[in-house]
Amino acid sequence: MDNVSNGIPKSDLPISTEMVQCLMEIGYVAIGRGLQLQAESIFNGVIAARPTSEFPLIGLAVNKLNFGNIADASKILTERALKLNPDSGLAKSFLAVALRALGQEEAACDLMRLVCNETTDSAAKTMAESFLAGKDIS
């Protein structure tokens, strides 16, 4: 594992959960403000601090989706986020958004139906239900 200058492994950095949540929120605000590179830097920092969490990877993928890098977003979700947590309803929901953007409507709807039937994450379930109802969730 790479070490930072003080010799503490990156995954052991003493960053509180509240700070991580705050950084995630700032990353999403950066996306909303059109600050693609800054958002990517923020999410990559959170990934370094929480390498076993899929949530900063989802943030990174959302950033890619928002700026039209659909294939990269799909790859982050499938090869990284869902490898960390194969049951992540949120990662599956954003993957479905990416699949739709790639023209794979049937696969996207199948994935959202799976989320509706299997997830306990209320945000992911709401997102999936809206997607399947034809509401704009982007």
Q: Give the bridge partners for 9, in sequence order.
A: 3
The domain segmentation of the chain, as residue ranges, is 10-132
pLDDT digits (tens, 9 = 90+) for 19-50: 999 999 999 999 999 999 999 999 999 999 99
Q: Which fold has domain 10-132?
A: 1.25.40
pLDDT at 130 over 60: yes
Residue whose structure tokens are 């509240």: 18
Show the DSSP H helices in the chain as ranges: 17-32, 36-49, 55-66, 70-76, 82-84, 89-101, 105-118, 122-132
pLDDT at 3 over 70: no
φ, ψ of residue 72 to 5 degrees: the values are -65, -40
What is the distance between the alpha carbons of residues 105 and 110, in angstroms, rounded to a whole number?
A: 9
